[in-house]
Amino acid sequence: MTWKRILCLYPYSPTKKSEQLYGGMAIINPIGLEVVATAAARLAEVLLVDLRLEKRPLADLIAEFKPDLIAVSLNWGGDEFVDNVLRSLPPDVTLIVGGIFPTQHPDDCFAAYPNLDLLALGYGEKTMTELLQRGSPEGVKGLWYRRRTKSWPPGSGVPHFVPASRSAGQSVSNAGPQPNSETTSAEPVAEIVKNDYRYEVDVADFHVNRKLRRYTYPFLRLKGDNIATSIGCPMVCAFCGWRTNIYGETQPWIPRPAADVVDEIAETDADVVHLVDANFAHDPKRVEEICDLLIARDIRRLLACEIRVNALVHSPELVKKMEQAGFFMFMIGIEAASDPILKRLKKGYTVKMCRQAFDHLRQTHIVTLGNFIIGVPGQSEDDMLYIARYAREIGLDFLSPNKLYAYPNSAFREWIMEHPGYHIEERRQYVVSDQIGMKKLRQIQRKIYFRFFTAPHVWHFYRKALSHPMVLKLGRSRIRNAMLRTLLGHLADPRFRKRLIKKLFGRFNKKRRPAATM
């Protein structure tokens, strides 16, 4: 069996909150799936479908494209919407899943989806390439598959995996009763062949083929794009899970060459390019080289990235050069406004360093979003409320006070539980205490917002953003109109208004009026 028509599917709902960046102002393209699709497109015809943006029914696309293999990215696991999508896929088309969740929970995936044929572990692009080259899952590294003994209809597109002697590295597990191999069964046999193998990540694969993309990914009502220029993070922030790889292990920082990054930025026709790295600016020399190439080639993009205080404090000259190269927005993990809390969180810098970094930023028109954490053990309510004043003092444009959460099975979670009176609540594993519960944390969040955002502050940001050198190059009126359309579009969206009211004024429940008595 050789697969020739592959449908690459991102199966998440357009209403899924975690898929909407900054309250729906931006949507990140599924980079991991695009990497796999880029590899597959060298050997087969590929249709890339993102259900968050797709307007046509999936069934119609399948009927028109007639895939013989459907590859699904399940990075974030399943939910009711995803489960319905996967279980409704045609039974005569080979189904393969991959991503973070299948890699870490492969048995759960096979149990959840009886129609699942193949599962790629780890970074799936090399596994996909080998699968297409072989035309069979037998012996493919990093691939688990369900060996079926039923006779598939000829020409169905589903390979008949005939039981054979196991090659090196293969093991077999049985998830159910196994009929005699010579007996024809109406149901597939739950026998899972496991080719365990771990491919190392190759950052060269991050350069994706944009000709496969069928959607415009928005950013502030402008055309957006998202690029990964490195993987891993050498920082050791206590609460963070970004420094782990797809296998859940510590991932060394591996960067792409500066020239390759700039080539990809030049290829996209997006106005706003978000560099999604966990630590884009870890190497200041690479950042400077990227900036020099962008400036020399006069590449006009508004660039956004996550950046650390440690990088910003490096030199004011580098920050100024980043502005000149087009860096428009920095998302900065500030986390706390006091040295004791920063030390507990293992941030690797001090309040003094943070103030110095923002001294450098105030010499530019780069827009800044500061992320803070509330609910850290030892943090009082006054400490949390001081965040609004501190953010104003250092010159932040936006702030986001986030409730602390602890990843399951992490050392940080164990450290939290060592503190008397602290415990974990809700699906997101939020950290709360006996003194400051979830309701109180939400009240503190609202107070921080109200104390920070004022009409003069918003007006100052508006003027600052429209004075950025790259905004002037792209057309000030064009960017201004995009910002205003974004605001008006959000206010016109009833879901956004509902979320905004909840954020600002609390989560009110309608009280039932007592029944009238006769």
Mean pLDDT of 377-382: 94
| pLDDT surpasses 70 at 58 | yes
Q: Which CATH number fits domain 216-403+442-503: 3.40.640.10, 3.80.30.20, 3.40.50.300, 3.30.70.270?
A: 3.80.30.20
Average pLDDT, the chain: 87
pLDDT in tens, 402-413: 999 888 778 888
| pLDDT surpasses 80 at 518 | no
pLDDT of residue 500: 66
pLDDT of residue 219: 84
pLDDT of residue 186: 44
Both tokens of 169, joined, read 């590295």
pLDDT of residue 504: 62
Residue type, 481: N
User: For the chain, how far is it from start to end, CA to CA, in angstroms?
Assistant: 77
Lowest mean pLDDT: which of 155-164, 195-204, 353-362, 418-427?
A: 155-164
Specify the residue for token string 């702030």: 399
pLDDT of residue 178: 38
pLDDT of residue 484: 84
| pLDDT surpasses 70 at 141 | yes
Q: What is the DSSP track for 376-415?
A: -TT--HHHHHHHHHHHHHHT-SEEEEEE-B--TT-HHHHH
3-class state of residue 23 by DSSP: coil
pLDDT in tens, 157-177: 444 444 333 344 556 554 433
| pLDDT surpasses 80 at 146 | yes
Question: What angle in degrees, to the nearest 10, is found between the helix axes of 284-296 and 258-267?
Answer: 40
Both tokens of 361, joined, read 């930023």
Lowest mean pLDDT: which of 17-26, 96-105, 238-247?
A: 17-26
pLDDT of residue 412: 87
3-class state of residue 260 by DSSP: helix
Centroid of chain to Cα 265:
19
| 380: confidence class by pLDDT, cuts 50, 70, 90 | very high
The C-alpha atoms of residue 145 and residue 138 are separated, in whole angstroms, by 9
The C-alpha atoms of residue 21 and residue 19 are separated, in whole angstroms, by 6
Mean pLDDT of 374-392: 95
The C-alpha atoms of residue 373 and residue 368 are separated, in whole angstroms, by 17
- Per domain, the residue ranges of the chain are 5-195, 216-403+442-503
Domain made up of 5-195: CATH architecture: 3-Layer(aba) Sandwich (3.40)
Contacts of 355 (CB under 8 A, 6+ apart): 393, 394
pLDDT in tens, 301-318: 999 999 999 999 988 999
Mean pLDDT of 13-38: 83
pLDDT in tens, 442-454: 999 999 999 999 9
The C-alpha atoms of residue 511 and residue 105 are separated, in whole angstroms, by 42
pLDDT of residue 185: 40
pLDDT of residue 180: 36
pLDDT of residue 511: 43
Residue type, 11: P
Q: Please, are residues 306 and 282 in contact by the beta-carbon 8 Å criterion?
A: no
| pLDDT surpasses 80 at 476 | yes
| 510: confidence class by pLDDT, cuts 50, 70, 90 | very low
pLDDT in tens, 415-440: 888 899 999 987 778 999 999 999 99
